[in-house]
Structure 1
């Protein structure tokens, strides 16, 4: 990941070995994908603008500026931005707070308080002591992570090669409206097999997975300022109204309200 720093270099360049329980960085990420990696510490990251993609073995998370993601310690993950994006990235000592420690990702809604607390924590020195204003604000951060709404902005991946090929087809063309019978034939499987694979490996029916894929692609376009009407058509909906209804059913609010929730 190409990075431009906006803060002073920390005393310890490795956040996993920092003294303070919560340390962070304010960065600009240039368009690139970072190879899979893991940290001893938990991570909490969000975009100030644009979209961050986070991928693990279990699936992909799409994060507009209204959402942050908690990646628990030891979780292998890759990150990607497709346009220059200002980010806040925090690293949390897994021994300091009672949070899940492995194989766990959690997306939380960003409120104005959460955004300001993340920004403040990212600017702390990396050696602040206990029982200081910095340590108390770090505790507020953890309380916010556990209290805020969790959002279904993940896309679980199937693992069978046939289902994986089909998922790749739809991810490259979210407006694809071919029926399952045709798509299954393209990957050498029956419709019943595809349904079974998505249900068992992705935890949802093929239809629901396809629906989620369209909406997450739409979320990225909306985050970059595309109109609702254009986005709806680009991801395969017949009208803006049908898209807005589908978006609200999954994410709990209209696109306009969803992207204003952190302002």
Structure 2
């Protein structure tokens, strides 16, 4: 793992910072899986890996930040990170995770070109735990090798969810996005946001979609949903999370999250029914 300077675009801070996670990622095996303790609220410094990485927490929420966006990994999901991609990782409400590393040859045509959040089947979960509990230098022709092959097969078959928060790249829109990440409840209308960036409403909406792939309204809904999931992972009640995320009340937040969670095939949150 290569530790790097933190890029100036990072928007969030955490109470604990880890120089690196102790991971033997480059063992002479095509697939390596390790258990890793990660305290609630901790985050790594900016770094990258020479191999493809898969991150899967036992509970809570993982947040991975890159220069181009943020990926949120709820319980029951995992994140595939391309090799050599600078990122930082933060954990909320979780204390144990598994980090798996793959050679390009191991994943073949499943090699990720960008970060991907995938569903973790029971079989993938069990296989990751089992391989992490065995020796690093497992016998390729025995149980370890079979588990590694099963992990790769399950990753190939896993469904993907689209809940990334892409960041715009031009300075005015990037500054606006940073401000909203810091304060999701900011409630200007489109004309107000356009005026803040010094362009017309139509230019603002066209540029925002062009740089993020999302309409501004969809991007803001996704930001507020991810902010809410993070607060919930930290034990914040839904009513309080609703106000912090910019909603009038918990019912409005429930409606938005139900629509969003349905379209992204995330499992419903038990908090939504309280």
TM-score between the two structures when normalised by the length of structure 1: 0.84
Does residue 41 of the first structure (1) align with residue 57 of the second (2)?
A: no
CA deviation map 1:88-145 (0-9, x unaligned): 1111122123244463211112333332222222223221122211111122212222
Matches within 5 A, 1:98-247: 98-101=108-111, 103-247=113-257
Residues 175 and 235 in structure 1, CA contact (< 8 A), matched pair in contact too: yes
Distance in 2 separating the partners of 1:53 and 1:72: 16
SS at match of 2:161: coil
Distance in 1 separating the partners of 2:109 and 2:86: 17
How large is the Cα RMSD of the aligned pairs? 2.8
Change in CA separation of 1:201 and 1:25 when aligned onto 2, cut-off 3 Å? same
Does residue 88 of the first structure (1) align with residue 104 of the second (2)?
A: no
Matches within 5 A, 1:42-57: 42-57=52-67
Change in CA separation of 1:233 and 1:111 when aligned onto 2, cut-off 3 Å? farther
Residues 73 and 101 in structure 1, CA contact (< 8 A), matched pair in contact too: no
Does residue 78 of the first structure (1) align with residue 94 of the second (2)?
A: no
Does residue 2 of the first structure (1) align with residue 21 of the second (2)?
A: no
Residues 38 and 76 in structure 1, CA contact (< 8 A), matched pair in contact too: yes
Residues 247 and 253 in structure 1, CA contact (< 8 A), matched pair in contact too: no
The number of residues matched between the two structures is: 253
Change in CA separation of 1:130 and 1:254 when aligned onto 2, cut-off 3 Å? closer
SS at match of 2:97: strand
SS at match of 1:218: helix
SS at match of 1:250: helix
Residues 23 and 125 in structure 1, CA contact (< 8 A), matched pair in contact too: no
